[in-house]
Amino acid sequence: MKKSYCPIDTFINTIKGKRKGTIILHLFQGNKRYSELVRLMPDISERMMTKQLKELEVDGLINRTVFPEVPPRVEYSLSTLGQEIHPVLKGMFKGGLLFEKSIDNT
């Protein structure tokens, strides 16, 4: 995460990316395995999903837990910071619905 001149830019630069906001919203509903996230978002490639998950982990928004099993089980969950930004993402979701509604009316 890189600090910007304005906190709004810092926030947007951190969550922008292919479906990062959607990943966070899915994880707010509960911990998910990688395969569950891929199933929930079929329009994102596995390569891109892996990249976005790594970036979210580096930025401290999600936790990655590897369970010592054979085969290894990996689970993703929201960090405290990820949980704290949920209301902002929920507001952005509602704003997106408003924009989509205005697009449909034109």
- The pLDDT tens digits of the residues spanning 59-69 come to 999 999 999 88
- Can you tell me the mean pLDDT for 13-36? 90
Query: CA–CA separation, 23 vs 30, rounded Å?
Result: 11
- The predicted structure's pLDDT at residue 58: 94
Q: Within 10 Å of residue 81's Cβ, how many Cβ atoms?
A: 13
| Domain 7-104, classified CATH 1.10.10.10, yes or no | yes
The candidate with the shortest Cα–Cα distance to 23, out of 47, 44, 3, 5, is 44
- The predicted structure's pLDDT at residue 56: 95
Query: Residue 4 — pLDDT band, cuts 50, 70, 90?
Result: low
Q: What's this model's pTM, rounded to 2 decimal places?
A: 0.84
Residue 105 has pLDDT above 80, yes or no: no
Cα–Cα–Cα angle for 18, 77, 93, rounded to 5 degrees: 45
Does 89 or 5 have the greater pLDDT score? 89
What are the domain boundaries of the chain? 7-104
